[in-house]
Structure 1
Amino acid sequence: MDTFALVVTIGVALFFTYTNGFHDSANAIATSVSTRALTPRAALAMAAVMNLAGAFLGSGVAKTVSEGLIATPEGHKGMGILFAALVGAIIWNLITWYFGLPSSSSHALFGGMVGAALAGGITVYWSGVVDKIIIPMFVSPVVGLTAGYLVMCAIMWIFRKTNPSKAKRGFRIAQTVSAAGMALGHGLQDAQKTMGIVVMALVIADVEDYGDPIPVWVKIVCAVMLSLGTYAGGWRIMRTLGRKIIELDPPQGFAAETTGASIMFGSAFLFHAPISTTHVITSAIMGVGATKRVNAVRWGVAKNIVLGWFITMPAAAVVAALSYWVVLLAFG
């Protein structure tokens, strides 16, 4: 029964990674597709490969997820809590995907973990939730908005005497690199989040200890599932990010992607903070768009996206808590 519960929980964790891939793939490539720097399929293929590569660049984010947010539950109850946390995150991912709302898969996962832990009577490390989740949730969009604005201003000044058509052609090529960096950062951040969950499942099942390095097979399966999900694509969310917030041109797309990728790498390597790729790229697009003119950004769409950010964690927490009680009723 223990082995079966472990296999099922890991399977659900990998399915979450798959939904994360198609839900968040738009983060890496929406701007490149909307500016026609890349075709949708080429962009998805590139993003899938870079997601795979990014998953092997570090383990700090995985450690934060597995050890820094909730106390490790034990036994059947512990595996049920982890299972419910993943179910909460998956259901919220699917709801927001259906409506084309670029909410955060990461915060859906964290909300699911907190909700299931509270329902199961497990200690939540609120200091870790505040330091690693809540503060970055507010800081990263502000940094993305500000940095996106400044990067775009710098580009406009540096290339102020360049022929506009020639500059756009150059930035369309450069976007291939910036989109690849964005996808690499997505792999670095989001594959590690699932690695942390799988490691927690292995610790609960007494197969691994937290002091052990992350098994290679865990890295491989998490990276592959994220890549497969990415290649499946997230067309609804891609339209929101690439077209509905602002009509982007290649220099703006390059500025937004470069800003987003830089913030993701910095947060992962410097702070081991699992930030939301959705928050970062969306705010960077807004910052870049504001350099054109403030009303060029469709702030009504932006307002709905921000509302989704605030709803995600509590909504996923509620779904996860309900899922845990269903598991408790079904299996005792």
Structure 2
Amino acid sequence: MAGNRQLPLDLLLVAGLVILTDIFVLVPVLSGSFLRTILGLLLVLFLPGYALTGALLPAKKDLEGIERALLSLGLSIAIVPLMGLGMNYTDWGIREVPVLAGLSIFTLIMCGATYYRRLQLPDAEAFEVPFKASVLALKAELLEGHGSGVDRAFSILLIILVLASIGSLAYVIGNPKEGEAFTEFYILGPEGMAENYPTNYTPGDSGTVMVGIANHEHRTVDYTMELRLENSPLPLPENQKYVSLEDNTSWKEPVTFTPPLEGKNMKLEFLLFNDTEKNIPYRNVHLWINVTKET
């Protein structure tokens, strides 16, 4: 047994990243930062698996560095869905804070188990990430004149390219491109299903359909819905509805109407206008209806 030993830097770094992720997710002022996305990806895709790998394979001889990293990634991808599946059967459910707490606690416990397992091994056999040796080697390569000037120039250029790539990736993750702006507009039958639409009427009969609008325009939109039969507006007040929706919100309500004309295969249109174009329908759906006297 090796006795007491300083907490390894890699475990300190993992624990620090877990705590930092919790802070960036839970503190409202920080939750909008792109760093939250980067830290969240690390917590989901790497840190739990790295801590578990350390607890299962604490010795240097168990795995090489690149194999350890790949196993950490694979285990994390397995751990997160299993944890979500377990939480789905609890009162907490699969929500952000419970999942964050579960992953954080699991990772920190595994860090403790890793430290304990490494303590059982001699210093020379316990796995550690050679941060200090890597820094010293890099310093010797770049600053102390080892190797030719061309080699040092390529090394510096490589470091700049790696840092630029990491910065670009962080920017892309933190500032995702907005998807296409669009609005969903649809009608359903009276039971809220895409069936049993009321299409046959006698004069004076009323019909009801469920109308739905979902805003994905990346902004708040004021919508106006208008009903027309054979291109003629239905009488007010059932002719028009006004709906204001914030981005990524929806509206669905029953709409009742009374066809004012008699005829067969008449086109009943539901026209949706947005706040930027008042004369040309932005979206439209329709039904073919019959209004006939009973014989």
TM-score bracket for this pair, using the shorter chain length:
under 0.3
- So what's the TM-score if we normalise by structure 2? 0.24
Structure with the higher fraction of residues in helix conformation: 1
TM-score relative to the length of structure 1: 0.22
RCO (CA 8 Å, sep 6+): is it higher in 1 or 2?
1
Structure number having the greater strand percentage: 2
Which is greater in Rg? Answer: 2
